[in-house]
Structure 1
Amino acid sequence: MKAFTLVCTSLAMAISGIAHGAEIDISHIQRLGPVIQLTATPLSKSAQADALRANLVTNLVAKLAVNVVEGSGLKKSNSIQVFNQQLTWQAASSTAEGEGWLAYQLPVSTHRFTQGTLTVKGLDNPQVYVNGQLVKSANEVSLNLTNGDYQVLVLADGLQKEVPFSLDWQGKSDVDQLDFTQQKSQRVSAQQLFDAKVINSLTLSPNGKYLLQSTIEYQASQGDTAIEVTELRKVSDNSVMYRWQDNRPSSAVWSGDSKQLAFVANKQIQLLNVAELTIQVVASDIDNVSGLHWYGDSVLFNWEKPFKADEKATSKRFRALEDRWSDWRNNSQIYQLDVASGFIRQLTDNKISSSFLDASVDNGTLLLTRSPVDYAQPAHGLTQLVELNLNALTETVIGQYRSFSSALYADDGMYITAGPRFMDGVGVQDKTIEVNDYDGQLYWRDGKGNVSALSKDFTPAIGSMTKLENDDVILTVTEGDRSPLYLFDKSKKRFSRIDTGVDMVDYFSVAIEPSTPTIVFAGTSATAPQKTFKMTLNSSGKQLLFDSQQQSYANTRFGDIQDFDFTNKHGHNIDGRVYLPADFDASKKYPALVYYYGGTSPVGRHFTGRWPFNLWAAQGYVVYVLQPNGATGYGQAFSGRHVNAWGKYSAEDIIEGTNAFLDAHDFVDPKRVGNMGASYGGFMTMYLATKTDIFAASMSHAGISNLSSYWGHGWWGYGYSGVASRGSFPWNNPELYVEQSPLYHADKITTPLLLIHGNADTNVPVGESHYMYTALKLLGKEVELVEFNGQNHHINTRQARFDWWDTTMAWFDLKLKDQPEWWNSLYPETTEQQ
């Protein structure tokens, strides 16, 4: 074991060769205090010591100045007032006058997973915190730090008179080195990306004056419990009018005159009077209510009755393939609440659930859908579009469709979103090519029932739609790897992109005013955190309402991002982008990670999410993200190559793209390239491992190894396969189900493979990873399987997400950086059977 000392000369780091504990140069440390104040007992002796110190540290961290380094000296630091005492962070070497509690801060940077012991000397009852989180109350504290930037804070009751203060660091081995140089900014952390406050709901009043806004954030002290807040804000000055944290409103909807807000809370339907800010309960003792919609002076809603299984039953007879869905036997119908009297009447009564789409007060009708069991044609599902006459409560089935998404009334007809094959393929651009049912299209159905395609020549894939008063519609679309908003002008039959200034629109709401409709939207870009803006359709000017950058990332640095497209051997342009490390040096050779989905949607330019490209780059990887053939948003021909292919085109593009990426970027080490994907991307990772040895290590999360088993067992397997394997089944196309299944080619795999799976995954059952793990173990191949207990298809809870990210990056550090320490600390070898 070798220890070291760091001494700051400009920004350089010098390492001593002594073999024992090394004292950290005190010039790197700042001190606050002693804080002289009358108190009944020292910090650590209080009856509420843990809470008292945790609260103190939280506030210190929040107010801690980011010191600016100029040359070899500190330029300035912040002052803090504690009761009536003015305190300043100052050099730890200065004389500490008086008695009282003290805090010491020390900047720490690592450039790999680092382990060691921090020894505190000369302090009474010290507590060591890293980035505001308590590590341990002790004089010797073990630290395990991943690649990143940290603030170490030590809190103590006071100084020991007989022992001078010092902080000593001793690494576990020669590689466990720390840099104590004060940084002007910090690399992004996993905690920032998960915990930062973001908007997760926006509902704008019709007149554009009021905004109902919900936020979500996390704090380490709250663990997996999210902090969720809903606020009613005045748009003109962004001031808060009303706030909910408990019993927050759901399914909120504005009345047409913007005077009332109807919502569900505490098993009630409530009305908020905006002028008086008073709440009236108009319906009580209701549960499982959703989808509120104003209809004149009444409110429509869906009310679900959960299926109650026989608790004494020892078996379950399946009624249909859909019975694998846990909520399929629940029944939801549409009800109407008369606000004035509080009377509720049931509008639909059917063995099949009824889902509300839209209402026309002028015509006295509702649009709704039902989904009867029908496997006659791919994708093995059917949607009935039904019109309900509200006066007579009679129903008319408008049509039954295989690729239907939604419908909205307009003055002389209705808009419909569906796949290209809708109405016998009226939306198919080229009858000679295969099309993808997930490539959303926009249609018009006139009053006589005639249907015309509006987006046949429009490349982006249509998502949701919102109708304006003049019958124009605002659309969410997938356009390449971006998700912008578009306006469809009905009179001109023209699509125009709305200049939001963000790559990905996460949420939006529209105030429908006759002349100048107003939009409020929240969105991100590849290296830009979430912002919320207000804008009008006839202007590119924007009013900033919320800025996650300012709140959570003001002192964070990110690497650059560059577009990297290439033309494949078939002449197709393959879209891609490259993330560079935060402290990129073109003279170095970097390991790289290649990420893709390969399924039916592109990998969007989200700032964060389950796949944190910015975090990987911050940890020293060049990251290449590409969009192989089969993805929507690039035209019908491009997305159609997803069908009955299961990796054929996608694998070619990924291999060809990786080679092009390596040829174009000489700062990437071609022998240290890893690849990964999830779900269909996890399938692609396993499939690629049977086709190429270009990758030095691979990770498959929740991947499919056997197409037949996923088709027959996964929650969405038969339906998704109805699109991805349209018309193909194990009995009529066994070649597809065998040849494209990685399991049947496991003997060809030479790449070390990490399999990660949630053992409660219903979408892709955990057996899919077990099949491949069993095969590779019997073949003597290098493979690891890590299950996440209780996790479904997505790893969503806070700590599990961190553990999942750590597992992934530790694997690639092991294989691509020759740094086994992180992986070994997470999953140490043992001779015992556990």
Structure 2
Amino acid sequence: MKAFSLVLTSLTIVISGIAHGAEIDLNHIQRLGPVNQLAVVPLSKSAHADALRANLVANLIDQSSDKKPETVQVFNQQLTWQTASSKAQGEGWLAYQLPVSTQRFTQGTLTVKGLDNPQVYLNGQLVKSANEVSLDLLNGDYNIVILADGQQQDTPFSLDWQGKSDIDELDFSEQKTQRVSAEQLFDAQVISDLTLSPNGKYLLQSTIEYQPSQGDTPIQVTELHKVSDNSVVYRWQDNRPSSAVWSSDSQQLAFVVNKQIQLLNMADLVIEVVATDIENVSGLHWYGDSLLFNWQNPFKADEKATSKRFRALEDRWSYWRDNTQLYQLDVASGFIRQLTDNKISTDFVDSNLDKNTLLLTRSPVDYAEPAHGLTQLIELNLKDLTETMIGEYRSFSGALYADDGMYITAGPRFMDGVGIQDKSIEVNDYDGQLYWRDDKGNVSALSKDFDPAIGSMTKLENDDVVLTVTEGDRSPLYLFDKSKSRFSKIDTGIDMVTNFSVAVEQSTPTIVFAGTSATVPQKAYKMALNASRKELLFDSQKLSYANTRLGEIQDFDFTNKLGQNIDGRVYLPADFDANKKYPALVYYYGGTSPVGRHFTGRWPFNLWAAEGYVVYVLQPNGATGYGQAFSGRHVNAWGKYSADDIIEGTKAFLNAHSFVDPKRVGNMGASYGGFMTMYLATKTDIFAASMSHAGISNLSSYWGHGWWGYGYSGVASRGSFPWNNPELYVEQSPLYHADKITTPLLLIHGNADTNVPVGESHYMYTALKLLGKEVELVEFNGQNHHINSRQARFDWWNTTMAWFDLKLKDQPEWWNSLYPETK
């Protein structure tokens, strides 16, 4: 089992008040050593003392992670973990370990007596080398390890805990498992990419993980596996391949690395460089014996320029002036030719070797109709490089060649609304649909009566396609059988499939996939596409969560006042007691996508439950994956339906769960969900505290200033503008109703947010300050719309939960330690 460490994210603050100290019972502490056979140079005196001790602690934690005494082999000396109350025999270095649990943010001082040069580690992370060590512990379970050069002759060993006040208590009793931690959820190794060879014999697998010592720098590894026994036949780490793609005969793997296009020949595992000095190349695709690729020409701004004239709304995008075109590499000769040359970037979509053609897309500037963007689908003849325009579309997503036509994914309005189920209802352009276009140009809707929203597609040799879909709050895989025109779910047993690959050339294709469920960490499997028996390839639970306990999850749906079923789920605390009264958190999005059943991510529901909250997640009207009528209620609503569902759902949730304290319920959301949080604060007082991350307070300013504001509003506010529908832009903007807000509100925003500019939180902060309302604004420096870097993510999570501990648990200590009045 891997050891995960806690990064202390707050400074210890000296506060007034008397705290009583207590010597810790030695029976709670385990000792290893003395290790007298190695006492040549004391641990602390080594030339590489810090690295030596850090490695020692990491290995000790790995060997003692289940908290049971074990025999440890140190060179030729066998040692056993035993209680510290037993007499230590001999001289040499020692290690002590102590389990610690907290039920709230806890501060205090750990005092070590009777040891020479003690060094204190918390979950494998060095805190300090000292006899007195200040600790700030978040609500959770920990393992303290102390290393020392040896024992003092005149002072017996003891550990003493002195809390800063009488509330700062620790539990030192041994536990067989630990509650999940933020570090586990962020750091654990997961699969980031899977690519099967067409014949199903080889799998290219990439993983990513983090370690405290590496900070924000991930550890990424790409391995080539033999599928038959999952053995590794090749491995990259320092120079990992990108844009990897298999040849149709599975004999060569092409990829980009070090400004080169390289080939790995499977016959002898020898790498051949076929193109060099080619920077900004991506998107490799085999075409017969040649390779197609995108080559970007980055725009070089005039460094001396003092101004910029915008060419279009898209010019606010930092990358819009870059130009990418398509090239072809003849592998045998190394000759490269340019296939497209256009002022507009060209994107490769698919190829047809038999017809000698490629499918391409371009996106010219065109605001004539919502969503104020246009996609051109173009066929390129490789014989003479002539281009044929297939069509110009407003809601196009992708296309794939088939034997007698092509598949297309697009919104319901594609081709004058051929995919709309009911012409009398509003539809959501983000509700993906599957279409068929025959060789004569006739288009038919394949998924009109299929409620899940279509995502990506992979075509098999027989022209069937494997589809990623959004189905309620799950993301399964479906197979579309072309001959029967039928959708069937692939039995993966996983709620959220995040990566998959299919051996497209097999008569009975093999599929590999990775994903999570709401309370199950990432696993990866292989199986035959037409079977249900799976073979496990990767198990994050075994690697990183073997001794972790989670709370249960329960479905909780309710029928709203319109008679519609509103999907939801409830996470219970890890040590749930139905006789207790718990605070609760309500989470939602509302911005046209459901909140998926991911195990972890930016919104760690399992962590909140581990910290003692009941968590209710619901999917209000407007979300895709529940049918066109349901998702269509997102359009020109901006909270009207969603707010009603959230308020009604929260009341139903409270009525159905007597162990939740109705006076201690908080709510939060991000982006559109942050908008929903501010909007809800103008509509209800059922929440005791609220948090809006990157929320929209003024629809007009987001529409006009956010990088994608005009485009998103072209869907969410289709046909409505500030000049023709001021009621929508004013009445649905929380800013214009700030005087109605009574709920304490925390506003969090990255000050480098390009999607929802940070001003959206500032508008609301200004309004509430002038109105004398309770509001906090926390900016995260240099962070964009999503807070993704490791330490910033922990700080963000801590800020959010410290706020709710302050308001829902009446525990101000954590918040005050993060944001003291003196700073």
* Corresponding residue number in structure 2 for 1:523: 515
List 4+ stretches of structure 1 deviating above 4 A.
Answer: none
* Corresponding residue number in structure 1 for 2:756: 764
* Corresponding residue number in structure 2 for 1:62: 62
* Corresponding residue number in structure 2 for 1:801: 793
Q: Equivalent residues in 2 for 1:733-744 (5 A)?
A: 733-744=725-736
Q: Secondary structure at the match of 2:37?
A: coil
2:276 pairs with 1:284: yes
Q: Equivalent residues in 2 for 1:216-231 (5 A)?
A: 216-231=208-223
Q: Do the aligned residues in 2 keep the contact of 1:187 with 1:618 (CA within 8 Å)?
A: yes
* Corresponding residue number in structure 1 for 2:102: 110
Q: Do the aligned residues in 1 keep the contact of 2:31 with 2:97 (CA within 8 Å)?
A: yes
* Corresponding residue number in structure 2 for 1:15: none
Distance 1:38 1:524, change over 3 A: closer
Q: Which TM-score applies when normalising by structure 1?
A: 0.96
* Corresponding residue number in structure 1 for 2:33: 33
* Corresponding residue number in structure 2 for 1:699: 691
2:361 and 2:527 map into 1 onto residues whose CA distance is 33
2:190 and 2:293 map into 1 onto residues whose CA distance is 28
1:175 and 1:38 map into 2 onto residues whose CA distance is 42
* Corresponding residue number in structure 1 for 2:14: none
1:513 and 1:724 map into 2 onto residues whose CA distance is 41
1:632 paired residue among 605, 621, 624: 624
2:529 paired residue among 521, 532, 537: 537
Q: Which TM-score applies when normalising by structure 2?
A: 0.97
Give 2:259's aligned amino acid.
K
* Corresponding residue number in structure 1 for 2:15: none
2:513 pairs with 1:505: no
1:602 and 1:508 map into 2 onto residues whose CA distance is 21
Q: Secondary structure at the match of 1:242?
A: strand
**Aligned-pair CA distance for 1:37:** 2.5
2:592 pairs with 1:596: no
Q: Do the aligned residues in 2 keep the contact of 1:763 with 1:793 (CA within 8 Å)?
A: yes
* Corresponding residue number in structure 2 for 1:486: 478
* Corresponding residue number in structure 2 for 1:681: 673
Distance 1:313 1:19, change over 3 A: closer
**Aligned-pair CA distance for 1:38:** 3.9
Any idea what the Cα deviations from partners look like across 1:107-155, whole Å, max 9, x if unmatched?
0000011111000000001011110001111000011101111001111
1:762 and 1:162 map into 2 onto residues whose CA distance is 63
Q: Do the aligned residues in 1 keep the contact of 2:623 with 2:631 (CA within 8 Å)?
A: yes
2:49 pairs with 1:49: yes
**Aligned-pair CA distance for 1:42:** 0.8
Q: Do the aligned residues in 1 keep the contact of 2:198 with 2:506 (CA within 8 Å)?
A: no
* Corresponding residue number in structure 1 for 2:452: 460
1:106 and 1:502 map into 2 onto residues whose CA distance is 37
**Aligned-pair CA distance for 1:513:** 3.3
2:21 and 2:562 map into 1 onto residues whose CA distance is 62
2:243 paired residue among 241, 251, 260: 251
Any idea what the Cα deviations from partners look like across 1:337-396, whole Å, max 9, x if unmatched?
000011100000000000000000000000000000000000000000000000110000
Any idea what the Cα deviations from partners look like across 1:553-601, whole Å, max 9, x if unmatched?
0000100000000000001110000000000000000000000001110
Any idea what the Cα deviations from partners look like across 1:740-773, whole Å, max 9, x if unmatched?
0000000000000000000000000000000000
Q: Do the aligned residues in 2 keep the contact of 1:65 with 1:78 (CA within 8 Å)?
A: no
* Corresponding residue number in structure 1 for 2:140: 148
1:96 and 1:410 map into 2 onto residues whose CA distance is 75
Q: Secondary structure at the match of 1:657?
A: helix
* Corresponding residue number in structure 2 for 1:10: none
Q: Where does the alignment leave 5 or more consecutive residues of structure 2 unmatched?
A: 1-17
Q: Equivalent residues in 2 for 1:306-705 (5 A)?
A: 306-705=298-697
* Corresponding residue number in structure 2 for 1:7: none
2:354 and 2:75 map into 1 onto residues whose CA distance is 65
**Aligned-pair CA distance for 1:647:** 0.3
Q: Secondary structure at the match of 1:37?
A: helix
1:820 paired residue among 806, 812, 818: 812
2:818 pairs with 1:829: no
2:538 and 2:112 map into 1 onto residues whose CA distance is 42
Any idea what the Cα deviations from partners look like across 1:437-478, whole Å, max 9, x if unmatched?
000000000000000000000000000000000000000000
Q: Where does the alignment leave 5 or more consecutive residues of structure 1 unmatched?
A: 1-17, 68-75
Q: Secondary structure at the match of 1:541?
A: coil
2:22 and 2:636 map into 1 onto residues whose CA distance is 63
Give 1:488's aligned amino acid.
F
2:219 and 2:703 map into 1 onto residues whose CA distance is 38
2:169 and 2:83 map into 1 onto residues whose CA distance is 23
**Aligned-pair CA distance for 1:19:** 6.4
Give 1:543's aligned amino acid.
E
1:224 and 1:440 map into 2 onto residues whose CA distance is 35
Higher relative contact order (CA 8 A, sep 6+): 2
Q: Do the aligned residues in 1 keep the contact of 2:582 with 2:614 (CA within 8 Å)?
A: yes
2:255 and 2:506 map into 1 onto residues whose CA distance is 26
2:517 and 2:300 map into 1 onto residues whose CA distance is 45
2:769 and 2:121 map into 1 onto residues whose CA distance is 42
- Percent identity, aligned pairs only, is 86
Residue-pair matches, total: 807
2:151 pairs with 1:159: yes
1:456 and 1:79 map into 2 onto residues whose CA distance is 64
CA-based RMSD: 1.0
Distance 1:280 1:19, change over 3 A: closer
Q: Secondary structure at the match of 1:722?
A: helix
**Aligned-pair CA distance for 1:721:** 0.2
1:134 paired residue among 126, 137, 142: 126
Give 2:197's aligned amino acid.
S
**Aligned-pair CA distance for 1:94:** 1.1
2:784 paired residue among 777, 792, 795: 792
Q: Do the aligned residues in 2 keep the contact of 1:757 with 1:766 (CA within 8 Å)?
A: yes
2:754 and 2:71 map into 1 onto residues whose CA distance is 53
* Corresponding residue number in structure 1 for 2:701: 709
Q: Equivalent residues in 2 for 1:288-307 (5 A)?
A: 288-307=280-299
1:827 and 1:500 map into 2 onto residues whose CA distance is 46
**Aligned-pair CA distance for 1:21:** 2.7
Any idea what the Cα deviations from partners look like across 1:507-554, whole Å, max 9, x if unmatched?
000001342011000010000000000011121000100000000000
Q: Do the aligned residues in 2 keep the contact of 1:470 with 1:514 (CA within 8 Å)?
A: no
